[in-house]
Structure formats: C-alpha cells, structure tokens
C-alpha cells in the first residue's frame, strides 16, 4: 500500500495535519472515505495488474465497475458506515476489502 493512503487512525491524523499545514480544509470523515476507496482501488489494481476497474462511492456502498462501466461488485459496510468500520478496526476492514477483491476478481 502507498504511504499516501492512511491505513489506521494515526495515519489519518497525520494526513489531516498535512492538509492543515497546506491550508486545505479537509475533515476526518473525508480522509477516511478517501482512504477506504483508495485501499480497495489499490487491491483491484494489484489483482488485475493494472487499472481496469474503478471503485466509486454509491451512498454508503463501494461499487466496482469494469472497463466498460458495468457494475461487477458492490461492497457494503459491516456497521452503519465504512467510516465507522475503519475507526473501530481498520485492520479487519482492510482484510475484508482484500477478501472482497479476491472474490469479485475470481468470480469473472
């Protein structure tokens, strides 16, 4: 994973501080949402050996679309939101995203 993508709350705090130093207005929720999406995108890019699928938010779900724009997977949070999942247990969430990636990629 990239050092630019926070994988725990300590790294979220560091990224928030970096944004503040640059004068950028970003809140914790946005940093976490971007991190969760980017982590899943990185898993797909790695599994497919390139950027062929896109990960986007659809409400509280993460939707994976293929190169043709067709939905190939949808991942829902375990709790009320991925932000809460990340705050409660980022490692478990990351493992769940990795497993979901394998399932979606392997199902094609």
Contact predicate 97/36, CB 8 Å: yes
Q: pTM for the full model? A: 0.94
Compute the distance between CA of residue 95 and CA of residue 98 in angstroms, rounded to an integer. 5
CB 93 within 8 A of CB 85: yes
Nearest to 90 by CA among 12, 3, 2: 12
For residue 2, being part of any structural domain is answered with no
Residue 1 inside a domain? The answer is no
The rounded distance, in Å, linking the Cα atoms of 101 and 48 is 10
Domain count, the chain: 1
Structure tokens at 63: 């939707």
Sole residue written with tokens 């969760």:
36
57 assigned to some structural domain: yes
Residue 54 lies in a domain: yes
pLDDT of residue 48: 97
Question: For the chain (length 108 residues), average pLDDT per consecutive 10?
Answer: 85 97 97 98 98 98 98 98 99 99 93
Structural domain of 78 = 9-106
């Amino acid at each position: 994973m990239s050092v630019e993508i926070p994988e725990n709350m300590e790294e979220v705090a560091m990224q928030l501080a970096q944004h503040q130093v640059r004068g950028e207005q970003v809140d914790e929720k946005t940093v976490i949402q971007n991190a969760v999406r980017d982590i899943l995108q990185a898993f797909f890019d790695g599994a497919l050996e390139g950027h062929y699928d896109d990960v986007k938010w659809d409400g509280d779900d993460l939707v994976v679309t293929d190169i043709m724009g067709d939905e190939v997977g949808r991942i829902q949070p375990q709790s009320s939101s991925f932000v809460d999942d990340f705050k409660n247990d980022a490692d478990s969430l990351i493992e769940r995203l990795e497993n979901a990636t394998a399932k979606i990629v392997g199902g094609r």
